[in-house]
Chains A and B, each alone.
Chain A
């Protein structure tokens, strides 16, 4: 290791980090799909995928192979460059935002933090920005397919995402006010004083903000009960009606990658990120460097997993909203509530001095 310069080492470790995180994220996406199918099946009193491998555990691999091998059809009337670009934008944006997520405690090896790809001062804004660019994937896919159902689906989706982005962004302001920074590490550290009691949702009294965020996040990722863009009984399959084989799979993966990103942000901002809910009580028992590095990652994964399960549970439970209900809920209820939350939070912070 010693004959490498610092810069080479940094480059090598960074590339390695990116590769590992990407592979884990893609695997997580594949197995979230399986988890969803299994959990939904149990809620509806059936088995779900159970033929391929033990408990159907190899199902995602088989699904992936199937979408690779299927014929890739392009409609004649489609706007070809944009038709191909749209799924790339959607999946690319969904995968990029994990780059700023810190998924473990600060663990430095040769000056490189192992559990975060990039520690950016404006990490939160980077995630919001990438999410807002991801809208183009949906918008362009609907328009370039040259299909009425696709166009209507993408119009609905774009309008929905833009509307709920406001409530989503405003719901996070209270957390930023408390942490006084947009750096995700700093936000996590600001809640790690007393374990679960100092998490923003409990000790920070951001529980209203959390519920606004949760609902806006469901709408942002086009998931039930806000999955109007792909309401199959009205719009066939929404914006990806004309897509087949791997291009369809890319939209599908983008949706699940977005779910994971949104769960990561909820974990970081409201549930103390990778910190333990017991605070520093057990620090003396497991005080070896390896355990100190591994336990936070486990906490982080467990929290994100809980959010994914919540997503699936909600999908199995709630019926779909009507479009006008969705819009008036976002603009007339969530947005004013988020603003009220900002005012109250900043007032309390100012009073405490």
Chain B
């Protein structure tokens, strides 16, 4: 069951990501990104991180991507031209991507013992209530990083307000 979920939504996430790159219209790309976000949310949930899954859907698919779509609609962006791509991208990009893939799979395979091969969906069946654990961790041990991050976001919002304000 969990493995089936993982395969289906992993494939959906990959397909969405590819479609995001291949589509020529910005709004189609944005919608593919929504599909990727939703599939990732299902993957999180199948790993037992239900709060993270809900936050992913509400924050990313429900708020940020709606604003993306909104902006694309308002700008009335048309279909984009397909380019042949720069030669540098082919020369560096493909070997670079292959190298990162090899490096990551090497690390995961060699450190398998330390990472403890996780049982996919193992926490799903026991239905733990992990919101309490997440919030206890967030407001005790990780309080300083949490508060610093919120101040960072506040600064970003203030910056946006200052930039958007009309000159007097």
Contact = CB atoms under 8 A, between A and B. Distances in A.
Interface of A: 82, 120-122, 125-126, 128-129, 131-133, 135-136, 139-140, 142-143, 151, 155, 158-159, 162, 165, 180-183
Contacts of A162: 63, 66-67
B131 A132 contact: no
14 contacts: A121-B127, A121-B129, A122-B54, A125-B58, A126-B54, A128-B58, A129-B57, A129-B58, A132-B58, A136-B34, A139-B69, A155-B70, A155-B73, A165-B62
Contacts of A151: 73
A132 B73 contact: no
B54 A132 contact: no
A159 B63 CA distance: 11
Given A121-B50, A125-B58, A181-B129, A136 B66 contact: yes
Contacts, number: 68
B32 interface: no
B27 A143 contact: yes
B74 interface: yes
Contacts of B55: 125
A158 B70 contact: yes
Interface residues of B, number: 24
Contacts of A136: 31, 34, 66, 69
Contacts of A155: 70, 73-74
Interface string B51-77: 101110110011100110110011000
Interface of B: 27, 31, 34, 38, 50-51, 53-55, 57-58, 61-63, 66-67, 69-70, 73-74, 127, 129, 131-132
Contacts of A129: 54, 57-58, 61-62
Nearest to B67: A162
A240 to B, nearest CB: 16
A121 B62 CA distance: 20
Nearest to A182: B131
B51 A125 contact: yes
A132 B50 contact: no
- Kindly list the 7 A-B residue pairs having the minimum CB-CB distance in the complex, ordered from nearest: A132-B62, A125-B54, A129-B57, A143-B73, A129-B58, A122-B50, A122-B54
Contacts of B53: 122
B154 to A, nearest CB: 14
Nearest to A120: B50
B51 A122 contact: yes
Nearest to B41: A129
Contact of A135 (B27, B54, B66, B132): B66
Contacts of A131: 62
